[in-house]
Amino acid sequence: MRQQKGMSSLMLVLLMLVLGSLTLQGMSMQHQSQLRQTTLEQRAMQDTVNAESLLEEGRMFAWKPEPGDRCRDDTDFAGRVCLRIFSDESALLIANSGEQYRWQTGQVQKGILQFDRSGWSDFCPRKEVLQCQLP
C-alpha cells in the first residue's frame, strides 16, 4: 500500500509539472504575439512621423512650378516625397513612408507654388485615386 501512495504522489507531481509547463508555454506564445503587435504598432507610428516630416520637408523645398511630376527620395525619413502639378495649375504634394501616405493640396498662382492652409490629409483629396499615387 505504501508503494501505491508513493506512485500516486509521483503521478500528481508529474501532472503538476506538465500543467505548469503547458501554462508557461501558453504564456510565452501570448507574450510573443503581443511583442509582434507592439513591433508593428511601433513601425506604423514611425512611418507616420516620417511621412509627416517628409510632407513638411516637401513644402519647404523649392520645386519648379511646372506641370508634371517631380520626386525626391529621402534616406533620413525612409521615404519619398513627390509633387504633382496638373494642367489646371492645381498641385498635390505626396509623401510616403512605409505604408503611410500624406497629401497636401496647393495651387500655382503667377508662377509661384502655394500650398493650401488647410493642412495635410491622410486620405486622397482628389476624385481620381490614381492621381494620388506616387509616380
Question: Rounded to the nearest 10 degrees, how much is the dihedral formed by the CA atoms of 24, 30, 35, 41?
Answer: -170
Which domain covers residue 127, as residue numbers?
2-132
**In the chain, how many domains are there?**
1
84 neighbors 65 (Cβ within 8 angstroms): no
- 36 membership: H or E segment, kind and range: helix 2-60
pLDDT in tens, 71-111: 999 888 889 999 999 999 999 999 999 999 999 999 999 99
Q: What is the mean pLDDT of residues 56-77?
A: 91
3-state DSSP assignment of residue 15? helix
User: Residue 123 to residues 28, 92, 93, 109, 134: CA-CA distances in angstroms?
Assistant: 38, 12, 12, 25, 14
Q: Can you say whether the dihedral through the CA atoms of 103, 109, 112, 118 is positive or negative?
A: negative
Within 10 Å of residue 47's Cβ, how many Cβ atoms?
19
pTM over 0.85: no
